[in-house]
Structure 1
Amino acid sequence: MIELLPATTHRRERWKNGGGWTREILRFPADGAWDWRISVAEVGCDGPFSPFPGCEREIVLISGQGMELHFADGEMHRLVPPHGRLRFSGERPLTALLVDGPTVDFNLMWKRDAIDAQLLHRPIVGSMLFFGEPDVTWVLYVLAGQVRTPAGVLEVGDAARIAIPPGERRVIEGGGEVLLAKLQPANPAAQG
């Protein structure tokens, strides 16, 4: 199954502090408290990040000149173009300082006790093959170029949810760059 998630359908909400906007791409489950959530943030000014206790986060700079992430414990990380990224715990207090104007950032958040997540940045030149795995959901986000799927064409800023039954496979094609989030239930044996 491939579900297209065009940019025009991503719900856009103003931040409570007025410093930016979030466009939610997808969350699971769709209603109530989520186990994972994918969104794009439009950051308009310096300010603190909202805390997400019990969650892991990974952000990727999509556009803009970048930002400095200042953690309360003194650590600093700079996201730089073209696609600087950082994975960190949602509990860690931090403040973002914009380098030179607004940024747009891809955000993947997941509850660490419920979900195992990987975020991959890949070029797509020609075909890309996905094999079905039990309980695995892929979310594809187009950074550059165009992607053709059996369900339709994706442009920059569009996304798709891909869930393939075990033993089956799906092919997508195109040219450009994508982010691929691989999401699956956490392995309780691996916890702790």
Structure 2
Amino acid sequence: MRIIRAADCLVMPWKNGGGTTTEIAVAPGGASLNDFDWRISMAHVGQDGPFSSFPGIDRTLSVLTGAGITLAFGDGERMRLDRSSAPYAFAADRAVEGLLVDGPIDDLNVMSRRGRWRHRVERLSGAGSLDANKGLLVLVARKGDWQVNGAALSAGDSAVLDAPGGVELVASGGEAELYAVWLTREA
């Protein structure tokens, strides 16, 4: 298990000035936005604007803080996401504009390259166990303090587990929330 502390994550401003991105993990290590196989990041969205297009990439978006965002797709589909919404998956090469509901938000972005990797995202709260016998499991602690197989994670920290088998999660202290990201190679 590899622990990634929040303080060690790189924060980058967007080219359009509309927000910032905090990169949590990327594969292969050091990959750019053009050549990653998968990428997990958090973004602070400060204003309405178009999402960057990522050809050949699938994306899942989860709202972490704020009143929410409406995704206005170029084909007319609209999807409103807020804190209570399940993680929402869509093709990252679809034209989409983000319209903030009522002020800035923070979100979790998971992206994987079609034909190489696929991903699934789930929001969890409280203690429990997970089973991940193949691929990778990345845990992103959002609120509270967590024990992952005995290792401590604070809010903002993450853990990367490679084919971990059974994983025991224990949350302590009040409200706790964690995102589980399963990543598997496509054949």
Q: TM-score, normalised by structure 2?
A: 0.89
The corresponding residue for 2:129 is 128
Contact 2:43–2:106 (CA under 8 A) maintained in structure 1: yes
Return the alpha-carbon distance in structure 2 between the equivalents of residues 170 and 73 of structure 1.
Answer: 41
1:173 to 136, 146, 170: 170
| Among 47, 51, 54, the residue aligned to 1:52 | 54
Residue by residue, what CA displacement relative to the aligned partner does 1:98-138 show, whole Å, maximum 9, x if unpaired? 1111000000000011012111112232x42445x24x110
Instruction: Tell me how far apart the structure 1 counterparts of residues 94 and 147 of structure 2 sit (CA, whole Å).
Output: 39
Q: Using the TM superposition, give the Cα deviation of residue 164 of structure 1 relative to its aligned residue in structure 2, in angstroms.
A: 3.5
Q: Which amino acid counterpart does residue 185 of structure 1 have in structure 2?
A: R
SS of 2:36 mapped into structure 1: coil
Alpha-carbon RMSD: 1.7
Q: Which residue of 1 aligns with 2:7?
A: 8
Q: Is the 8 A contact 1:164 1:170 kept in 2?
A: no
- Percent of aligned positions that are identical: 33
- Residue pair 1:149, 1:173 contacting (<8 A) in 2 also: yes
Is residue 2:26 matched to residue 1:30?
no
| Alpha-carbon offset, residue 171 of structure 1 | 3.0
Q: Secondary structure at the residue paired with 1:57?
A: strand
Of 49, 61, 64 in structure 2, the residue corresponding to residue 62 of structure 1 is 64
> What is the distance in 2 between the residues matched to 1:84 and 1:98?
18
Shift of 1:157: 1.6
Counterparts in 2 of 1:164 and 1:149: CA distance versus 1, 3 Å: same
Q: Which runs of 5+ in 2 are unaligned?
A: none
* 1:150 Cα deviation from its structure 2 partner: 4.7
Give the equivalent residue in structure 1 for 2:96: 94
Question: Segments of 4+ in structure 1 off by > 6 A?
Answer: none
Are the aligned partners of 1:62 and 1:82 in contact in 2 as well (CA < 8 Å)? Answer: no
For structure 1, the residue ranges without an aligned partner over 5 or more in a row are 188-192
Q: CA deviation at 1:84?
A: 4.8
Query: Radius of gyration: which is bigger?
Result: 1
Contact 1:22 1:42 (C-alpha < 8 Å) held by counterparts:
yes
Normalising by the residue count of structure 1, what TM-score does the alignment of the two structures yield? 0.87
Question: Does the Cα contact within 8 Å between 1:62 and 1:83 map onto a contact in 2?
Answer: no
Contact map agreement 2:59 2:91 (CA 8 A) in 1: yes
What residue identity is the alignment partner of 1:111? R
Which of 100, 103, 106 aligns to 2:105? It is 103
8 Å contact kept, 1:145–1:177 = yes
Kindly state the Cα deviation for residue 85 of structure 1 after the two structures are TM-superposed: 3.1
Which deviations, in whole Å up to 9, do the C-alpha atoms of 1:48-101 show, x marking residues without a partner?
000000000000000000011101111110012234532110110111111111
- Number of equivalent positions: 181
In the other structure, the counterpart of 1:41 is 43
- State the one-letter code of the partner of 1:148: Q
Aligned residue runs from structure 1 range 65-84, under 5 A: 65-84=67-86
- Aligned counterparts of 2:139 and 2:55: Cα–Cα separation in 1: 26
